[in-house]
Structure 1
Amino acid sequence: MAREFLCTKTEPVVQTKAGKLRGFRLDGTYAFHGVKYADAKRFHQPEPVKPWEGIKNALAYGYVCPMLRQDEPSNELMVPHRYWPLDENCQYLNIWTQSLDPKAKKPVLVWLHGGGFAAGSSIEHIAYEGENMSKYGDVVVVSLNHRLNILGYLDLSPFGEEYENSANAGNADMVAALEWIHENIENFGGDPENVTLFGQSGGGMKVWTLMQTPAADGLFHKGVVQSGCIEGFVQADETDGTAIVTALMEELGTDDVKTLETIPYAQLAAAYNKVMPEVAKTGVYVGGNPKANGWYVGDPCVVGFTEHAKTIPVMVGTVLGEFSFMPALDPEEKADAALIEEKLQKMYGEHTEELKTLFKKAYPDKDISDLLFIDSIFRAPSIDFLHKKAQHPESGTYSYLMSYTFPYDGGHIAWHCSEIPFVFHNTSLVAAFNEPGVTDLLEKQMCDAWLNFARTGKPSSDALPEWPACTPDDEATMVFDKTCEVRHNYDHELIALHKKAAPPFFFGGGDDEEEQKIQH
């Protein structure tokens, strides 16, 4: 059936602080794609866009930040991707809304994409589309691009005051986007005083780093951290960028730091990729992540939450399998008890029996073979984050975990990114996510939770059991599965032992050493 479409020379047009923008309407949802929210010179702080006359089109997604390495399509059934033109001039955002009435005051949900701080984009995953969430929840959905890798996170401050915050330029872009939203979202039907950040993986890290950024105080009011807690990923050391920038200049044959501002990006990236591994071995800051300084306070689990961060309600969660991207065991292998025992013994050694006991206690309905794929890399730091944030009763702290087994590969536990289509109400866009009689309800339960949290700071809904906030002694975790339930401190022993027993950087049950490396 054909959908109703509207896009003329005069509508839909919205007035922003800098000028007028034209988008389009599809079945009642207004969309504005590729809205420029800031400009910036390489390594410098973002500045507001210059005003313009007439009407600008917002009909195409904006440029994506260049990557350090070429993207390679993979796991497209599990996490379908899109690839888009690259340019440093990448400060663009996208908006989906049901109303252009400035008095509508709808909740605003701002999506921060994954890929660490080095890769990804606002449209990288097909499931990032905001139309369905906006329509289903009657909310305003915003996604954005910002500078990444060495363009967004390289510390040149030792080489001049103009680079004082170059190590956080990517996060400064996000603050600029939030400032744009605060100033303009009302004309898109949004409430600038009810803005929720949500993000997965690197996007989750962006949420809590912005909680720790005083320049962002008051620009957002709630945060959802999806698989975004990981130890040591955002460095807390006090070293600066002297070593990496010096090595980079030597590789490029220059002693003038200004050269780094103008050299072609491909050449700059190639030089960085060559020198970074050796510099990193010394343990100093090498870029690619935010750096604590006078602008960004630092990891709250290390330095404590800022006074403002204590007042921000948060949801924090993970999925059971996280990086279990390799093919699952087939039904015949799962039924072979001797084979499973051999794999478990090879992986966990002397801890195998205790882990099996703790796993069956935590997940009595799961197959014991799933113990080969569970995660503690994200789950353990999430438990720590929740515990420390719950010590501040100024705002609610909520925990979740997705343990659903997908109808893929004969049954595959939830993997990194697999909750995203449910949250965005986009499971119909991802083939492997569809299970009759299950998917629709779980999608409703999860999307409702995110929407209600954005509206009120509490994720409870009529479709879920009562979901209490965490306390310092009680992690009340909503477990999303075929049957959703709240469980209390239910996996803490399992995760503590798994963190101790699992092979280093292990994210799945494969034997190939390469499968045990973190992939960003």
Structure 2
Amino acid sequence: MRTAFPYSYRFLLALALVLPVPWAAAADAGPIVRIDTGSVSGVPNAQAGLDEFKGIPYAAPPVDTLRWKPPQPAAAWKGVRTADRFGPRCMQRPIYSDQVFHSDGMGEDCLYLNVWKPAHAGNGKLPVLVYFYGGGFITGDSSEARYDGASLAQRGIVTVTVNYRLDVFGFLALPALAAESPAHATGNYGLLDQVAALRWVQHNIAAFGGDPQQVTIAGESAGSMSVSALMASPLSKGLMQRAIGESGAVFGQRQPASRASAEQQGAAYMQHVGAHSLADLRAMKADVLLKACGDEGVTKFGPSIDGDLLPRTPAAIYEAGAQAHIPLLAGSNSQEQDWHALLGDKPPTPANYRAAVQREFGANAEEVLRLYPGGDEAEVRASGTALGGDRFMGYPTWRWMHLQYKTGAPVYYYRFEQPRPAKRDGSAGPDPGAVHSGEIEYALGNLDGNPIYAWTATDRGVSCVMEGYFANFIKTGNPNGPGLPHWPAVASQEGGLLRQAIGADTHSYIDRDAARHELLQRVDPDRQP
């Protein structure tokens, strides 16, 4: 028997047979958002109640004549651009074994960002987090699982992660580059990328439900250093209202290079690769330039006092109170480095420790030994770990915190103490302390994204507390909220400063390590290499 179909149904069926792909696409279409360069289609995460957008260009590809130039506006497109996968990671050498990337390859065309938002975010009212990855300014990518923004987005935060240029591509400085710059500046292209991303957020984040007047910038290690630099920069004033720094700031041994030093480094690199002009450098293949960065004698590239993004040293800017006067949440970990950083492969004996301190600090060695004593092996291990961690990230972070505190802005200072647990494969037991970068998964709610470790109920509890602090701070500028141990803002008390220990036993205490940091400020000052 022949079935009679209504005319309208037969028409739609015939149209579907003629145009099967568009009809299928319409049935499976993801969330679509209109931004200033065109429309983007994301991926719905129904289980989490989120919409996810990956690989959105926020600037033009910095290739060919745009290599070593400030980021330029992204080109507009027609139709709907699919934003369902991470863009390529920026050019970088494989440095750290714990980095697992999910990016779409690697290349100079890498200026992309990602957005996680609640599915029903509304229009322009939710707080925004913009997160910058770590990696020493030579490696890193927003596609790493530890930076996934879904967990914070589930707490009502529009979360953005950003790629920025690295190594020689992000930080080469040359007089020829300054000569062609309208600002007469050179270097810091990776930091300028971050500024461009923040400007993109100002123009576009309301379309994702975010409030451009409630932006928190955050990062770990080089990302934290970036946050401290952006707070100092006149180029990013007004682009953020709060800041979070995890283990790092542009002070002490992390102080940016002087412009003269950076330009000398650039000239030496140019000679090393056999280029005779800026045009020669721009004509060279990216992988050749990258490989040369690992050659013996080539100095590591990083931020410098470029004359534009950083018109003066960060220390001078902060000491003058010219930085952004915004709430800051910052801290470091209990084991940023261990005693091996000072002693190498030598046994941790008092004699070896004293000799190492004398070699490093010369006439100031006795004062260092008084605050970091090494009378027996156990004390050498403890003091060596404290000294190594302070010089590496503890002191720079303290200096940043203290200078911001002096402006009268609300500051919340933490010490992360939770060691990572044993590895699932049994190859290693728990870490002895909270190592550098070990807090990221806890803070961003991404323990499950790292299958290497056998996370315990205690770890999950610590993550819930730390992520809760972060979420509250992003929303209000204050980390406190229901169900969390009270965290007092930094204030003087009984000869120290109030600080929050975050770990299995989260509590506030009086930090009296200022004498150690003040010593390092005198003997290991904010110097420019």
TM-score, scaled to structure 2: 0.78
| Shift in alpha-carbon separation, 1:243–1:372, aligned structure 2, 3 A | closer
SS of 1:179's equivalent in the other structure is: helix
- Percent identity for Structure 1 against Structure 2: 24
Aligned partners of 1:403 and 1:413 also within 8 Å: yes
Structure 1 match to 2:336: 322
Which amino acid in 2 is paired with 1:440?
R
Aligned partners of 1:140 and 1:189 also within 8 Å: yes
Which amino acid in 2 is paired with 1:49?
A
Which amino acid in 2 is paired with 1:488?
I
**Could you report, residue by residue, the CA deviation over 1:433-486 in whole angstroms, capped at 9, with x for unpaired residues?**
555441222111100111111111111233333322224775211011211111
Counterparts of 1:282-297 in structure 2, within 5 Å, are 287-297=301-311
Unaligned runs of 5+ in 1: 1-5, 281-285, 327-339, 360-365, 503-520
Structure 2 match to 1:491: 513
Aligned partners of 2:101 and 2:141 also within 8 Å: no
**Could you report, residue by residue, the CA deviation over 1:394-451 in whole angstroms, capped at 9, with x for unpaired residues?**
x211110111233332552110111101111111233465554412221111001111
| Shift in alpha-carbon separation, 1:433–1:497, aligned structure 2, 3 A | farther
Which amino acid in 1 is paired with 2:447?
T
SS of 2:161's equivalent in the other structure is: strand
* 2:170 corresponds to 1:152: yes
Structure 2 match to 1:23: 42
Structure 2 match to 1:190: 210
SS of 1:412's equivalent in the other structure is: coil
- Match 2:71 to one of 37, 46, 49: 46
Structure 1 match to 2:94: 71
* 2:484 corresponds to 1:451: no
Structure 2 match to 1:468: 488
- Match 2:285 to one of 264, 273, 277: 264
**Could you report, residue by residue, the CA deviation over 1:231-267 in whole angstroms, capped at 9, with x for unpaired residues?**
2334252415543343334344443221111210122
TM-score, scaled to structure 1: 0.80
Structure 1 match to 2:134: 114
| Shift in alpha-carbon separation, 1:356–1:100, aligned structure 2, 3 A | same
Moved more, 463-472 or 215-224: 463-472
| Shift in alpha-carbon separation, 1:113–1:89, aligned structure 2, 3 A | same
* 2:410 corresponds to 1:396: yes
| Shift in alpha-carbon separation, 1:452–1:345, aligned structure 2, 3 A | farther
Structure 1 match to 2:180: 162
**Could you report, residue by residue, the CA deviation over 1:195-247 in whole angstroms, capped at 9, with x for unpaired residues?**
00110000001101111221211111111111013523342524155433433
SS of 1:414's equivalent in the other structure is: coil
SS of 2:195's equivalent in the other structure is: helix
Moved more, 85-94 or 211-220: 211-220
CA distance in 2, matches of 1:83, 1:17: 24
For the pair shown, which has the larger CA radius of gyration, 1 or 2? 2
Aligned partners of 2:254 and 2:396 also within 8 Å: no
| Shift in alpha-carbon separation, 1:73–1:215, aligned structure 2, 3 A | closer
**Could you report, residue by residue, the CA deviation over 1:75-98 in whole angstroms, capped at 9, with x for unpaired residues?**
x4xx76657611111100001110
Structure 2 match to 1:127: 146
* 2:385 corresponds to 1:373: yes
Counterparts of 1:154-233 in structure 2, within 5 Å, are 154-158=172-176, 161-163=179-181, 164-229=184-249, 231-233=252-254
| Shift in alpha-carbon separation, 1:239–1:386, aligned structure 2, 3 A | same
CA distance in 2, matches of 1:189, 1:238: 41
CA distance in 1, matches of 2:177, 2:431: 54
| Shift in alpha-carbon separation, 1:71–1:435, aligned structure 2, 3 A | closer
Unaligned runs of 5+ in 2: 1-24, 341-346, 356-365, 423-428, 525-529
Moved more, 370-379 or 34-43: 370-379
Counterparts of 1:50-61 in structure 2, within 5 Å, are 50-61=75-86
- Match 1:14 to one of 15, 21, 33: 33
| Shift in alpha-carbon separation, 1:243–1:354, aligned structure 2, 3 A | closer
| Shift in alpha-carbon separation, 1:96–1:481, aligned structure 2, 3 A | same
Aligned partners of 1:127 and 1:429 also within 8 Å: yes
CA deviation after TM superposition for structure 1 residue 9, in Å: 5.4
